[in-house]
Structure formats: C-alpha cells, structure tokens
Structure 1
Amino acid sequence: MASHGTGGPTGFIDTIEETLIAALLGAMTLVTFANVLARFFDIWGGNVLWALEATVFMFGWLVLLGASYAVKKNAHLGVDALVNIMPPAGRKVMGLVAVSACLVFSLLLLKGCYDYWAVFADLPPTSGRWFPTGFNFDARSQSFYEVDDVPMLPFLTFLEGAINYGDEYEKLPKVVPYLVLPLSAALLLLRFTQAAFRILNGTQDRLVASHELDEDDIEDAANRADEEKV
C-alpha cells in the first residue's frame, strides 16, 4: 500500500485536527491531575466539581475526532485475507466498494449528528428520514439546555445573545460540547472522500491497514525500545 502525504488544500485542517487532539490529551491530564491534588491535599473544597464532566466531554471529543484522524493515518484495522489474494484490479474494486459504503455511512451520520446538535444551537434540523430534504423550521429550540457541572466560560458569553435570546447561562450550554458531533462526522466524510480519491488514482489499494502492517509497526516499535535501553 503506497504512502500518502497530508499536504494540499487540507493541510490547514490537518494541523488544526492534530493540534486539537494533542490539546485535548493535555487538558484531560491537567484537569485529572488537579482533581487528584484537590482531593489529596484537601484544597479547592477537596474536589474540582466539574472535573469529571469536563473530562468525559474531552474524552468524547478525543474519540470522535480520533476516528477521522485514524482514517487519515490508515490506523484502523482491517481483515485483508481476501484482498491479499486478489489482483491489483480486484483490490481496487474491493477498495472502492468499501469506501463507498463508508461514504454513505458518513453522510447518514452527518445528518443525524447535525440534527441532534442543531436544536441546541437554535438552528433548524433537516427534514427527511435518511437524507436531507430541507429544514424543519417548526422544531423546538433547546438552546437553553445546560450541562450539569461545567461553569459558563467568560469568552462564550456571546452565545447568550446569539442563541439564548439574552438569557444568561449559569452552566456551559450543551451546544458547545456537542459541537463535536457534526464536526467529527464532517471530518470523517472528508477523510473517506480523500481515501476514495487515493484508491481511484492508485496511490492506495485498500481502505484500512492490514493486521500484518500493524504487527510490523508494533515489532519495529519494540525493536526501537530495546535499542534505546541498550
């Protein structure tokens, strides 16, 4: 399977994606560590009340963004016993069938994610059961919904006038943490589209990495670790 770069017009998106994933990992570590200190030394009331909820939200962002990132890096596992015995033309056909199914799934996921998030953003969800047929402007806004523990962040107070009709938020509005739903679905659609073009132009012959490739990567990592110990 040929390697591929991440340059081109999506390079900026790639940078944001990788930076956000790294920032989420760092923030989760800091919040969890602060909560441990608070309990051990009995500071900040012995507990950071919003730490657990914030960590859960960040973990959700990490997982959902990581799904599209893994597609970009060919990090998802796949069973390729049948693909390996096929000629190049057959592998290309199988790759296109697989990526077509993933594109349909991504479109359905994007619609569902947007419809779920839209009401929290005071936006109309789409109409249609499977694919968008328009917008449902009769849907009831749920922009006043808040999370349980995470306090409102000062730099997000503009949301009060933008989507909550001037009413103040005591806690973080759900529109903020749930934004990852349509965002991750859109990124997943983008990554599968990129994979489809790579399969079409012959720079990639399958949608996901094989078990053999991943085992080789693991073995190489183990060898490097042994060399560093020596």
Structure 2
Amino acid sequence: MKYLDHLEEWIITFLMGAATLIIFVSIIHRYGAGLPIPGVQDWLIQLNLSWAQELCIYMFVWMAKFGAAYGVRSGIHVGVDVLVNRLPVDWRQKGVMVAIICGTIFTGIIGTLGATFVWENGMHYAVFNKLGMNLADLTEGPITPDLEWPTWIIYSAVPLGSYLMCFRFIQVGYRFLRYGELPRHNEGHVEGIDEVTEDVPGVLHDPITHEDAVIEGGMTK
C-alpha cells in the first residue's frame, strides 16, 4: 500500500513535466518554421505538431482529476466549517463524518457513471475486439480530432480520478475515526525539507497567548 501514498504526485509530476516539454517543443517548432533558413525551414514545416495542443489539454484534464484526489488526501480543498464549529463538541465529530461520507458517496457515484460512459463509448468494443469476441452489435466509438485516439481513453480520467478520490475519502474517514485527526495543509511547509528550530536570543518562535502571559507573569491588563 505504500506506493499508493504518493501515486497522485507521481502521475501529476509526469503529466506536468511532459506537458511542459511538449509545449516548449511546439513553440520552438513554430518559431523555427518561420525563420528563412534553407533546409531547416522546410524540414520543420514537414513536421506535424498540430496534435501538441490537443494532447496538452487532455494532460491537464487528467492532472485536474488526480489533483482533486491529492487534495482530499492532503487536505488542501477549500472547506467551510462555520456550521461545524457552531455545533456542540459531541456533535462536531458526527458532522465531520457526515461530510466525509457524503464525499465518499458522491465520488463513488461519479466514478460509476463515468465508468459506464467510458465502457459504452468504445471501451467495450476495444476489449471485445482484443478478446476476439463477436462485435456485430458494438460500435467502435468516436476518436479525437488530431491525435485520432479513442475518446474513451481520454474520458477514463473521470472514473479513475473519481474512484481514487473515493478511496482517499475512505482513508481520511478511517484515520479520523481512529486517531481523531484530519489532513491539514501547511502552506509554509516544503516537502522534503525538515524544519530545524534553533534558540536565538531575542527571538520568539511561538506566540504567547493571553493565558500564557497570565501564568508566567501574573495578571495582565
């Protein structure tokens, strides 16, 4: 299960790096094709990179779906906790669990609907064709304009990303019930860098609250 802990990061990093490289090559190609350099200009014009923009769009769609799953795991999604904070302490845990259960059910439904759409949009034809089964009543499904890929491959981001989100919601709910903790995102933390706190004279590392001041220095005004 350890490889699942960073699955989203690996996928997003690969897609982001590949999309950046493709866009960079496409820009250089367009710029170079406009330069009147004998031989080089003709060779660049013959290179067909019209698919680059379409492919990058699909990559960003996949990044968005897996990024949403990463957001559930790391706690970076925007949440409104005004209602939960107004509940009695005994009811706050129940309110959090209701939200987690709703997120699990919603993403599970979206994943199932997406999987059904992908299957009926051409994946069933590809699977049956691969297995050598009868294709009489099946349609091949549409393809993308430039890449000419089956669209079911692109739409697979919906069920895969949604089911991964559902799995992350289950993980968050389990850890919340067992340890009473929710994932929190620290904007100032950089992954892979451990914070080292040194005692520097005249520098306060932790803010002193009103209660701390009363305990340490007596009554405060």
Task: Tell me the TM-score normalised to structure 1 length.
Answer: 0.65
Say whether the 8 Å CA contact 1:83–1:94 is kept in structure 2: yes
- Indicate conservation of the 8 Å contact 2:8/2:66, yes or no: yes
Q: Please, which of 107, 121, 124 is the counterpart of residue 123 of structure 2? A: 121
- Choose 99-108 or 77-86, whichever is displaced more: 77-86
Alignment match of 2:17 (pick from 26, 35, 51):
26
Q: Alignment partner of 1:204: what SS?
A: coil
Give deviations 1:72-128, integer Å, cap 9, x for gaps.
Answer: 0111011123333445432211111111111221121011100111122116xxxxx
Q: In 2, are the aligned partners of 1:39 and 1:47 still within 8 Å (CA)? A: no
2:65 aligns to what?
A: 64
Show CA shifts across 1:107-157 (max 9, x none).
Answer: 21011100111122116xxxxxxxxxxxxxxxx64434221111xxxxxxx
Distance 1:142 1:194, change over 3 A: farther
Q: Which residue of 1 aligns with 2:164?
A: 187
2:74: which partner in 1?
73
Residues 24 and 142 (structure 1), Cα distance of their counterparts in 2 relative to 1, 3 Å cut: farther
Cα distance change on mapping 1:89 and 1:198 into 2, 3 Å: farther
**Length, aligned pairs only:** 170
Q: Give the stretch that moved more between structures: 96-105 or 21-30.
A: 96-105
Is structure 2 residue 155 aligned with structure 1 residue 178?
yes
The CA deviation at 1:193 is 0.8
1:168 aligned partner:
none
Which of 146, 149, 162 in structure 1 is aligned with 2:146? Answer: 149
Over residues 154-181 of structure 1, what are the superposed CA-to-partner deviations in whole Å (9 max), with x where a residue is unaligned? xxxxxxxxxxxxxxxxx22223222212
Which residues of structure 1 form unaligned runs of 5+? 1-8, 124-139, 151-170, 222-230
Q: Say whether 1:17 aligns with 2:8.
A: yes
Cα pair 1:144 1:173 within 8 Å, conserved: yes
1:79 counterpart letter in structure 2? V
Q: Which structure features the higher share of strand residues?
A: 1
RMSD: 2.7
**Percentage of matched positions with identical amino acids:** 27
SS for the counterpart of 2:103 is: helix
Deviation, 1:199, is: 2.1
- What secondary structure does 2:145 align onto? strand
**What TM-score results when the alignment is normalised by the length of structure 2?**
0.68
Matches within 5 A, 1:158-169: none
| Aligned residue type for 1:187 | L
